Amino acid sequence: GENVEQHPSTLSVQEGDSAVIKCTYSDSASNYFPWYKQELGKRPQLIIDIRSNVGEKKDQRIAVTLNKTAKHFSLHITETQPEDSAVYFCAASERSGGGADGLTFGKGTHLIIQP
Report if residue 99 touches another protein, rule: CB under 8 A: yes
Residues in the chain: 115
Question: How near is the Cβ of 79 to another protein at its closest, in Å?
Answer: 26
Distance (Å, rounded) from C-alpha 66 to C-alpha 70? Answer: 9
Cβ atoms of residues 9 and 111 within 8 Å? no
Identity of the residue, 24 or 34, whose beta carbon is nearer to another protein in the bound complex: 34
Name the H helices within the chain. none
- Chain center to CA of 12: 17
Interface residue with another protein among 21, 36, 84, 111 (CB under 8 A) is: 36
Number of residues that bind another protein (CB under 8 A): 30
Residues at the contact surface with another protein, assessed by CB under 8 A: 1, 4, 6, 32, 34, 36, 42-46, 49, 51, 89, 91, 93, 95-108
